């Protein structure tokens, strides 16, 4: 047994739908632009870009039903409704045809973003870490074990009950299998890794008191209140 100099930080984890078990989270990867209409609304050409990735710290996870304090250092906090996949099996250079077999479960997620800091980072050619990987930035619902189904179905974001985003998972530029394959060529993936698979068009701001719900058809939902 190892003796540590300070108490060991808690293991980040997510609930599993319909089970007392929790899923331990290792790393959180996110796809930058993966729906054509969202790429256009951010001023980019969706036809010319391979997938790119950024990360959030695992301890930035926020579960369903949480109240999150409006984060510091921003005046433009945005929601981004996303399908999240959790890996039960790792690997490097995973072939597209085998990629879906690495998925353990799926969830509805919200890639909270300090949009003003992101715009500033882009303009100054600086990293996105502080725009994307701040405390409580990785909203994720309970994981539903993956049954091998094709990724189609509605993904929606509602703010105070009003629909702000609505798309089909089949609209992704890079399907989930391609995302996993591509990412595994950049880093070795491991069990416990989460991948946020990108957001559709319609991103926008959240303010104090808002309740933001992300729903993914057949998978689940996650609700967050900004206080
Ligand atoms: Mn995103």
Distance (Å) from CA 3 to ligand 1 centroid:
38
Domain ranges for the chain: 13-226
Distance (Å) from CA 142 to ligand 1 centroid:
18
Distance (Å) from CA 138 to ligand 1 centroid:
10
- Confidence at residue 39, expressed as pLDDT on a 0 to 100 scale: 86
Q: Assign domain 13-226 to its CATH superfamily.
A: Fumarylacetoacetase-like, C-terminal domain (3.90.850.10)
Model pLDDT for residues 150-159, shown as the tens digit of each residue: 999 999 999 9
Distance (Å) from CA 101 to ligand 1 centroid:
23
Distance (Å) from CA 48 to ligand 1 centroid:
18
Distance (Å) from CA 195 to ligand 1 centroid:
10
Would the pLDDT of 45 be above 90? Answer: no
Distance (Å) from CA 20 to ligand 1 centroid:
29
Query: Residue 162's pLDDT band (boundaries 50, 70, 90)?
Result: very high
- Confidence at residue 50, expressed as pLDDT on a 0 to 100 scale: 83
- What distance in Å separates the CA atoms of residue 200 and residue 184, rounded to the nearest whole number? 23
- pTM of the predicted model as reported, rounded to 2 decimal places: 0.97
- Which residues, 6 or more positions from 177, have their beta carbon under 8 angstroms from its beta carbon? 96, 97, 99, 100
């Amino acid at each position: 047994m190892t003796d540590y100099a300070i108490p060991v930080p808690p293991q980040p984890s997510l609930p599993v739908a319909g089970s007392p078990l929790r899923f331990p989270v290792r790393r959180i990867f996110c796809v930058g632009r993966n729906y054509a209409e969202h790429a256009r609304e951010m001023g980019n050409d969706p036809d010319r870009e391979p997938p790119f990735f950024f990360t959030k710290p695992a301890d930035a996870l926020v579960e369903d039903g949480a109240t999150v304090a409006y984060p510091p250092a921003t005046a433009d906090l945005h929601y981004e409704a996303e399908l999240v996949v959790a890996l039960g099996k790792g690997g490097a250079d995973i072939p597209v045809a085998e990629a879906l077999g690495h998925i353990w479960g799926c969830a509805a997620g919200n890639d909270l973003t300090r949009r003003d800091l992101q715009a500033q980072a882009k303009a100054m050619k600086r990293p996105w870490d502080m725009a994307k990987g701040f405390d409580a930035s990785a909203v994720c619902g309970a994981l539903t074990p993956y049954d091998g189904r094709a990724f189609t179905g509605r993904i929606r974001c509602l703010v105070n009950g009003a629909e702000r985003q609505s798309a089909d998972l089949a609209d992704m530029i890079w399907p989930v299998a391609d995302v996993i394959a591509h990412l595994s060529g950049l880093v070795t993936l491991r069990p416990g890794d989460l991948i946020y698979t990108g957001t559709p068009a319609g991103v926008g701001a959240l303010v104090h008191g808002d309740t933001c719900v992300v729903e993914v058809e057949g998978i689940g939902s996650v609700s967050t209140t900004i206080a």
